[in-house]
Structure 1
Amino acid sequence: MKVKHTAVAALLAAGLLLISGCDQAEKAAQQMLNKTAETAKQAIDDTHKAAEQALSDATGGLIEKKQSEPENQETSNAI
């Protein structure tokens, strides 16, 4: 009877360790996804700024930057 209780306790402990390991893996994956998303957002923002600068240089500043800024803010907030 005592061996049976010990086996059940060991099985429950192993299950708890497995569940906590999965939880840690999920948290690590979520942090990596968040970091990747932030890096991608920064790359998009940098590319957008470079494109605006190139367009401004190409048009001699005829297109006003103020027209695109509200759209940029809405896009950044949506991400």
Structure 2
Amino acid sequence: MKFTATALLFTSLLVLAGCDQAEKSAQQLMGKAAESAKQAIDDTHKAAEQALSDATGGLISKKPSSAEDEEQSTSSSQEI
């Protein structure tokens, strides 16, 4: 009887450990999917801006947003 209870407890611990690992893997997968979606949106936005610029012959100029300014300044400082 003791052996059965010990085996059941050990099996339960293994199952719980597996569930925790599965949850961590799912969270990592969701993070990667969110980053991929953000990148696709950014790429689409850039392509749309380029198409608009090409269609208008550059008459409409885009003002960089503060977030883009920060991104450009960060990447410029990293290159130095």
Q: Which residue does the alignment assign to 1:34? A: 31
- Aligned equivalent of 2:50, options 44, 50, 53: 53
Partner Cα distance (1:63, 1:21) in 2: 56
**Residue-pair matches, total:** 68
TM-score by length of 2: 0.76
Task: Give yes or no for the alignment of 1:70 onto 2:60.
Answer: no
Counterpart code for 1:46? D
Unaligned runs of 5+ in 1: 75-79
**Seq. identity, %:** 66
Q: CA RMSD in A?
A: 1.6
> 2:19 corresponds to which residue?
22
Q: Which amino acid aligns with 1:24?
A: Q
Show the counterpart of 1:11.
8
TM-score by length of 1: 0.77
Deviations 1:9-68 (A, max 9, x none): 1111000000011111111111111111111111110000000000011111122211xx
Q: Which runs of 5+ in 2 are unaligned?
A: 69-80
Q: Relative contact order: is structure 1 or structure 2 higher (C-alpha 8 Å, sep ≥ 6)?
A: 1
- Once superposed, which parts of structure 1, at least 4 consecutive aligned residues long, lie more than 4 Å away? none
